[in-house]
């Protein structure tokens, strides 16, 4: 009777502990997490968020904040930056952005997103808005690394960032360096950067003879370019959306750029007219 009584107790304990262990879920590996993030970036149809930016510039660090509305197909962008409004619509306005400045001349301007006025001492353009650009850089690096992925990428636990639970990923490009590059036919600083998935601002910064992105390059000349986009990335991937809501990028000099996404809405329902200059909340 004694053994029968306790055999039932042991059986009950086994069932309870067994069900507990069955409920424990193992998290994704680092590679699985990165692949899932890349897929999530591709699946984005629209976004709303508040973006805080830190970028190294010619005279120190520049700090920006903007409210962003982004539609992917067609590509539509609205920005609000301290009274400045920017509206860019794919296939409209001859490719130019409609800009309402918060300073003289206080009239709407139509500006080239790749031009000097909109690119002045900034690392990126409207073309990189959203997560696609960074996702492409990460995907290219993964393909470049192949089986060496785990030597460069580390899943460093979980943290709460920008008021959201995230996975922390660290990328260490231990062989980051600058190499000689021979300029080819009709190449520009931007085309070289896009070809090698590196930062065009870093190219300008490393080659003092360049004043900005628009310097004309001569075929056969030699310049310095980085082997990777950066030396180190600390990236926080949102556990709900699997999007990189915080990205801190460093090179051999230290912090290069940092982007933090707040109040993120993924695939929101936009109101009719929200990407037009006459929308009720805009002041174009």
DSSP helix/strand/coil, 64: strand
Number of H helices, E strands in the chain: 7, 13
Q: Does 198 or 4 have the greater pLDDT score?
A: 198
Alpha-carbon span 74 to 93, nearest angstrom: 14
pLDDT band at 238 (very low <50, low <70, confident <90, very high): very high
Q: How many CB atoms lie within 10 A of CB 138?
A: 25
**Residue 47 reports pLDDT greater than 70:** yes
Share of the chain above pLDDT 90, in %: 86
Q: Does 196 or 25 have the greater pLDDT score?
A: 196
User: What tokens were used for 164?
Assistant: 């959201």
User: What tokens were used for 112?
Assistant: 């080239």
- Specify the pLDDT at position 103: 87
Q: Residues 202-221: pLDDT tens digits?
A: 999 999 999 889 999 999 99
- Specify the pLDDT at position 178: 98
User: What tokens were used for 261?
Assistant: 């996404």
User: What tokens were used for 157?
Assistant: 């636990």
Alpha-carbon span 258 to 63, nearest angstrom: 10
> Cα dihedral sign for 275, 276, 282, 284?
positive
- Specify the pLDDT at position 122: 93
169 beta partners: 155, 235
Contact (CB, 8 A) for 282 and 274: no
- Specify the pLDDT at position 26: 76
Q: Residues 146-163: pLDDT tens digits?
A: 999 999 999 999 999 999
Among residues 28, 48, 52, the alpha carbon closest in space to that of 38 is found at 28
Any idea which architecture 30-176+228-266 has in CATH? Clam (2.50)
Contact (CB, 8 A) for 171 and 152: yes
- Specify the pLDDT at position 104: 85
- Specify the pLDDT at position 155: 98
- Specify the pLDDT at position 25: 53
- Specify the pLDDT at position 19: 45
Query: Across all residues in the chain, what is the average pLDDT?
Result: 91
> Average pLDDT, stretch 75-93?
97
Instruction: Spell out the domain ranges in the chain.
Output: 30-176+228-266
Q: Residues 98-140: pLDDT tens digits?
A: 999 988 888 999 999 999 899 988 999 999 999 999 999 999 9
Contact (CB, 8 A) for 166 and 158: yes
Alpha-carbon span 44 to 266, nearest angstrom: 7
42, 43, 45, 46: CA torsion to nearest 10? -80
Among residues 227, 225, 224, 202, the alpha carbon closest in space to that of 152 is found at 227
């Amino acid at each position: 009777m004694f053994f029968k009584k306790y055999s039932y107790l042991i059986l009950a304990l086994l069932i309870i502990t067994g069900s507990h262990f069955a409920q424990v879920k193992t998290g994704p590996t680092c590679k699985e997490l990165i692949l899932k993030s890349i897929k999530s970036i591709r699946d984005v149809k629209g976004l709303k968020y508040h973006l805080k930016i830190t970028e190294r510039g010619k005279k120190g660090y520049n700090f920006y904040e903007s409210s962003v509305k982004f539609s992917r197909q067609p590509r539509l962008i609205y920005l609000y930056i301290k009274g400045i409004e920017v509206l860019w619509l794919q296939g409209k306005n001859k490719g130019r952005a409609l800009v309402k400045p918060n300073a003289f001349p206080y009239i709407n301007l139509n500006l080239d997103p790749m031009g000097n006025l909109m690119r002045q001492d900034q690392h990126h353009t409207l073309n990189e808005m959203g997560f696609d650009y960074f996702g492409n850089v990460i995907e290219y690096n993964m393909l470049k690394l192949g089986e060496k992925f785990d030597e460069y990428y580390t899943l460093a636990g979980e943290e709460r960032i920008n008021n959201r639970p995230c996975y922390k990923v660290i990328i260490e490009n231990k062989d980051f360096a600058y190499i000689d590059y021979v300029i080819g036919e009709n190449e520009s600083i931007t085309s070289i950067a896009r070809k090698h998935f590196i930062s065009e601002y870093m190219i300008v910064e490393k080659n003092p003879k360049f004043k900005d992105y628009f310097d004309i390059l001569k075929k056969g000349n030699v310049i310095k370019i980085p082997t990777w986009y950066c030396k180190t990335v600390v990236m926080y991937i949102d556990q709900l959306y699997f999007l990189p809501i915080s990205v801190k990028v460093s090179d051999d000099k230290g912090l290069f750029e940092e982007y933090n996404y707040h109040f993120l809405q993924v695939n929101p329902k936009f109101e009719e007219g929200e990407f037009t200059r006459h929308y009720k909340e805009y002041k174009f």
